[in-house]
Amino acid sequence: ILQLYGSLNWFGNYYRVIQKNFVDMEKMLDLLQESPEIKDLPQAAPLTMQKGEVIFDNVSFSYDTNIPTLRNVSFTIPSGSTVALVGPSGGGKSTIMRLLFRFYDVQKGRILVDGQDIRHIKQHDLRSCIGIVPQETVLFNDTIKYNIRYGKIGANDQMVEEAAKAAQIHDKILGFTEGYETKVGERGLRLSGGEKQRVAIARTLLKNPQIVLLDEATSALDTRTERHIQKSLRRMTVNRTTLIIAHRLSTIVHADQILVLQDGEIVERGSHVELLQKKGEYYKLWNKQLKHHEKMKKEIEISESI
Ligand code: ATP
């Protein structure tokens, strides 16, 4: 019996590894759509991580050689600061993130992390210092504890709880019938979009990377959830080099720098206030969102008064 149990246990572990890899793949495919073969150079060097400064130096890239997706994109994210990417759909925001995670290599220019060209360093090193919070977080069919601990296999219960507290989801979890042991995912308790995003934030806090890539969820959130998310996002991004794809401009009012991308080019850059004063593309985007926001507010008021 012991032997049988041993092999079942082995199978269980093995299954979990397979399952994990599948979900990982799914998550990656979801976020990054596809992942072509990028291989380490034979002489790839370990990454010497210092403060986590990121530089895009005159980067051009195309998925298909005929159509340029990014053209001469240059910007710096000083260590610990936040750069936000905004602009119309198809402008190239996600492509910039994919390139920094090195799912593709640039065709012109270079990307540097702490002065090191990412094509010359070990992918494993690069990816272990980058945390990603995708738009849609995939949960494993396992306990909420397992789902958070996934950020750092080996973290103890206390570390998991600390991360959940910082991500503003601890109290919510305590409200579940089985607390941290509650099963979530497709076959368990379904979490809302905002809750799933907070799980992703807790995972990232556990992973404790120097660089954070955040693809903000597009879905409108209620004010309470929004407040929770904003608070946990601030906890996650403080002192970390952060790149955000922002859909709700209210999120990035405090970003150190905002880049407006259009058709693969940076057409404007500056702080929120500077860009509003410029009365250019950002100003148009901001006013469009403001109008939309006011329309939504009115609709809510009307529906509440009926
Ligand atoms: P959104 O706000 O809609 O997410 P985005 O600014 O993130 O858009 P990208 O996803 O970076 O834009 O896409 C930039 C351009 O590259 C688009 O024209 C898109 O169609 C194209 N593109 C994106 N992914 C691929 C791919 N895997 N293969 C070929 N073309 C792609």
- pLDDT, tens digit, for every residue of 69-111? 999 999 999 999 999 999 999 999 999 999 999 989 999 999 9
Of all atoms in ligand 1, which is nearest to the CA of residue 264? 14
Q: What integer pLDDT is reported at residue 282 of this predicted model?
A: 95
Task: Write down the pLDDT at residue 4.
Answer: 46
Q: What is the pLDDT of residue 40?
A: 84
d(CA 209, CA 211): 5
CA dihedral of residues 31, 77, 216, 300 (deg, nearest 10) = -160
Instruction: Tell whether the torsion through CA atoms of 116, 72, 241 and 28 is positive or negative.
Output: negative
For a substitution probing ligand 1, which of 35, 89, 96 has the most ligand atoms within 8 Å of its CB?
89
Average pLDDT, the chain: 84
What pLDDT is attached to residue 119?
94
Q: What is the pLDDT of residues 204-257, one digit of tens each?
A: 999 999 999 999 876 666 777 777 788 888 888 999 999 999 888 877 888 999
What DSSP line would sit under 146-189, residue for residue?
A: HHHHTTSTT--HHHHHHHHHHTT-HHHHHHSTTGGG-BBSTTSB
For the chain, percent of residues with pLDDT exceeding 70 = 83
Q: What is the pLDDT of residue 33?
A: 45
* Amino acid 304: pLDDT: 59
For residues 141-148, average pLDDT: 94
| 255/174 Cα distance (integer angstroms) | 33
Which amino acid residue places its CA nearest to atom 23 of ligand 1?
A: 95
Which one of 56, 63, 64, 285 would you pick to mutate in the ligand 1 pocket, going by the greatest count of ligand atoms within 8 A of its CB? 63
Predicted local distance difference test score (pLDDT) of residue 22 = 44
Any atom of ligand 1 within 6 Å of the Cβ of 135: no
**Closest C-alpha to ligand 1, atom 3:** 89
Residue 98 CA to ligand 1 centre (angstroms): 10
Residue 280 is predicted with a pLDDT of 95
Q: At what angle do helices 157-166 and 223-237 cross, to 10 degrees?
A: 120
Residues sharing a CB contact under 8 Å with residue 140, sequence separation 6 or more, in sequence order: 19, 20, 23, 146, 147, 150, 185
pLDDT in tens, 10-31: 444 444 444 444 444 445 444 4
Q: What is the pLDDT of residue 5?
A: 47
Atom of ligand 1 at shortest range from CA of 95: 11
Residues recorded for the chain: 306
How far away, in angstroms, is 263 Cα from ligand 1 center? 10
Per-residue pLDDT band for 305 (boundaries 50, 70, 90) equals low
Structure tokens at 54: 């990121």
- Give dist(CA 255, CA 266) in Å, integer: 16
> Which helix (H) or strand (E) covers residue 243, if one does?
strand 241-245
Cβ–ligand 1 contact at 69 (below 6 Å)? yes
CB atoms within 10 A of CB 48: 11
Pairing of strands 257-262, 211-215: unpaired
> Which residue owns the Cα nearest ligand 1 atom 26?
63
Q: Structure pTM?
A: 0.83
Backbone angles phi, psi at 190, to 5 degrees: -85, 130
* Six-digit token string for 135: 């738009």
Query: Considering only 225-239, 257-271, 289-303, which range has the smallest mean pLDDT?
Result: 289-303
CA distance 263 to 277: 23
For 167-184, b/e burial (b = at least 16 CB within 10 A) is bbbbebbeebeeebebbb
Q: Is 91 in the pocket of ligand 1 (CB under 6 A)?
A: yes
Ligand 1 contact via 92 beta carbon (within 6 Å): yes
Tell me which residue has its CA closest to atom 9 in ligand 1.
Answer: 92
Question: How high is the pLDDT of residue 43?
Answer: 86
Per DSSP, the three-state class of 99 is helix
Closest CA to 100 of 201, 263, 234, 241: 241
- Residue in 32, 70, 94, 97 to alter for ligand 1 test, most ligand atoms within 8 A of Cβ: 94
* Closest ligand 1 atom to 92 CA: 11
Q: Is the CB of 63 under 6 A from ligand 1?
A: yes
Q: Is the pLDDT of residue 262 over 90?
A: yes
136-162 mean pLDDT = 92
- What does the alpha-carbon distance between residue 130 and residue 92 come to, in Å, rounded to a whole number? 20
Q: Which residues contact 104 (CB under 8 A, 6 or more apart)?
A: 36, 38, 61, 63, 98
